[in-house]
């Protein structure tokens, strides 16, 4: 139950969100004009988004044009990791802010070769709450959950799952060591979002990565089937 | 680099934070008057805060008065888990907000027996960013990091670690299966916060829980040694 103290913040958030939505619409138009599928990757901290991305970029190789925007509160560690794959990457540092905004994505796009006819991965700040409220203009949203986090995450953080095109379960190699029911997590996600696609993956063993990469290569470039 | 669009939000956040700080000061006064050590437990989603809490409450048993406030975006699942230990608990549901605020803690206190001379655990929303900005009036802050999240978390989410009295590494039973250097995580935390206490724990094997519980029982009730 939000307290009274939250009301003024909510009013201002609406203004910020309206301005964000304008820039997001420009980004979305830019992606359509350039035939780019832009994917907003979201998860809790430490869910393995960057590891998944490294493995994905390695497998996609030269099968399609690729580029990456890396969002973090601090440090450029993740962009350095991605750069080693040879894919063009720009680090977006929010300097304390808990989510990416459309304007920062637009600034990043100015510094990145446009992956025409291909895929742009936008790795959001590690946070299962706030990024859900900020449209970046992405074609699709993807949410990652590691099996070490527990199978209750969709129910506890519903906003993040309602608009996701796909839920990627990561770190499946650790499943034997943790108390995580895949069926339970999938049922919770589908209760919020019946059409959500599910991938069971491990960047360590390679499990599920072929199916995940085939899915990425077949995505609808207009996002009309599952836009935010 | 925050965008221009973020400036109005920052202005309003200052007002919200000022109001929050007033209520937090009242909470802190309440804790001192009632000889309560209030601990603000913070971490990413799925780091094992609730599991640690269950194990801790079981071990502390009747050695000291205990009470719990459970913060979540949605669901009362965690309060139900804690209630099974027999310790009084109130669920605080933020209904979408990404952090607890002092006013919601105050409302929770009205519904909870005061653990005079003992410990109040306040489990914050799973989020490594936003809760760091909101003083709840707690005596001490504790940050949990599971070894499955990666050893780069202090550096990537510095605000959360700067004011913590202790960093609790959780899920140590999974250490053999993951790429996590304990010394690296500890060094990063100490670079931000030289006096931070470190505990290496597993709620599955019981590793480190005796030392953690002894530490809790010995905490300074005034918080003068490490207040926020």
Task: Write the ipTM.
Answer: 0.85
Average pLDDT of chain A, as a whole number: 91
pTM: 0.89
CB contact under 8 A, B74 and A98: no
Is B224 domain-assigned? no
* Any domain includes A1: no
User: Across the interface, which of A101, A127, A158 has its CB nearest the CB of B5?
Assistant: A101
**B contacts of A171 (beta carbons < 8 Å):** 148
pLDDT at A27 over 80: yes
Question: pLDDT per residue over A137-155, tens digit each?
Answer: 999 999 999 999 999 999 9
- CB of B8 within 8 Å of a chain A CB? The answer is yes
pLDDT over 50 (residue A203): yes
For residue B95, the model assigns a pLDDT of 87
Q: Which of A22, A49, A145, A148 to mutate to test the interface with B (most CBs of B within 10 A)?
A: A148
Candidates B4, B95, B150; nearest CB to A46: B150
The answer to whether the Cβ–Cβ distance between B2 and A97 falls below 8 Å is yes
- Total structural domains in chain B? 1
Asked if the Cβ–Cβ distance from A156 to B128 is below 8 Å, we say: no
Output the pLDDT for position A12: 55
Beta pairing class for A66-72 and A119-123: parallel
Nearest to B5 among A2, A20, A95 (CB): A20
Residue B180 CA to residue B186 CA, distance in Å, equals 11
- Write the CATH number for A102: 3.40.50.300
- What B193-200 contacts at long range (C-beta under 8 Å, 24+ apart), as own/partner pairs, is B193/B161, B193/B162, B193/B163, B193/B164, B195/B226, B196/B161, B196/B164, B196/B165, B196/B166, B196/B167, B197/B165, B197/B166, B197/B167, B198/B166, B198/B167, B198/B168, B198/B169, B199/B166, B199/B167, B199/B168, B199/B169, B200/B169, B200/B172
- The answer to whether residue B66 sits within a structural domain is yes
The per-residue pLDDT for B200 is 98
Q: Is residue A190 part of a domain?
A: yes
**Which residues in chain B have their CB less than 8 angstroms from residue A76's CB?**
none
Q: How many angstroms separate the CA of residue A6 from the nearest CA in chain B?
A: 7
pLDDT for res A6: 42
Q: Is A99 helix (H, G, I), strand (E, B) or coil?
A: coil
For chain B, say whether A17 makes contact (Cβ under 8 Å): no
For residue A160, is it within any domain? yes
Q: Does A77 touch chain B (CB under 8 A)?
A: yes
Q: Is the residue at B107 inside a domain?
A: yes
Predicted pLDDT of residue A95: 87
Minimal Cα distance from A2: which residue of B?
B94
Mean pLDDT by 10 residues, chain B (228 residues): 43 71 97 97 97 97 95 94 95 92 95 96 96 96 98 96 98 97 98 98 98 94 50
Given pLDDT bands bounded at 50, 70 and 90, which one contains residue A156?
Answer: very high
Nearest-Cα distance to chain A for B183, in Å, is 18
A125 pLDDT higher than 90? yes
B182 touches chain A (CB under 8 A): no
State the average pLDDT over residues A162-167: 97
What's the gap in Å between the CA of A64 and the closest CA on chain B?
Answer: 30
Vertex A175 angle, CA A172 and A179, to 5°: 140
The per-residue pLDDT for A221 is 60
Is the minimum CB–CB distance between B171 and chain A shorter than 8 Å? yes
Is there a contact between A146 and B46 if contact means CB atoms under 8 Å apart? Answer: yes
Rounded distance, CA B178 to CA A148, Å? 11
Contacts of B16 in chain A (CB under 8 A): 5-6, 8-9
Query: Domain residues for A150?
Result: 6-217
A224 inside domain: no
Contact assignment for B174 to A173 by CB distance below 8 Å: no
Model confidence at A16: pLDDT above 90: no
Residue A166: strand pairing partners:
A142, A197
Q: Which residue of A has its CA nearest to B16?
A: A5
Q: Mutate one of A1, A2, A4, A5 to test the B interface: name it (highest B CB count within 10 A).
A: A5
Mean pLDDT of A162-184: 98
Q: Is residue B63 part of a domain?
A: yes
- For residue B96, what pLDDT is reported? 86
């Amino acid at each position: 139950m939000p307290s009274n103290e939250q009301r003024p913040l909510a009013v201002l958030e609406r203004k910020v969100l309206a301005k964000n939505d304008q820039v997001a619409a420009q980004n979305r138009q830019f992606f359509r004009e350039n035939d780019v599928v832009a994917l907003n990757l979201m998860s809790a901290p430490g869910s393995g988004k960057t590891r998944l991305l490294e493995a994905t970029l390695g497998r996609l190789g030269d099968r399609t044009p690729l580029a990456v925007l890396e969002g973090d509160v601090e440090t450029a560690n993740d962009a350095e990791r991605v750069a080693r794959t040879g894919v063009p990457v720009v680090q977006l540092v929010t300097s304390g802010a808990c989510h990416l905004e459309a304007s920062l994505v637009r600034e990043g796009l100015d510094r990145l070769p446009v992956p025409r006819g291909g895929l742009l991965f936008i790795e959001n700040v590690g946070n299962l709450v706030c990024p859900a409220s900020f449209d970046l203009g992405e074609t699709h949203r993807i949410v990652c959950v590691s099996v070490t986090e527990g199978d209750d995450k969709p129910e506890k953080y519903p906003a993040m799952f309602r608009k996701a095109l796909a839920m990627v379960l990561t770190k499946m190699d650790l499943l034997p060591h943790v108390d995580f029911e895949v069926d339970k997590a999938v049922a919770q996600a589908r209760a919020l979002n019946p059409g959500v696609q599910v991938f069971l993956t491990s960047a360590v063993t390679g499990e599920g990565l072929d199916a995940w990469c085939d899915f990425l290569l077949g995505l609808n470039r207009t996002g009309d089937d599952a836009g935010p």
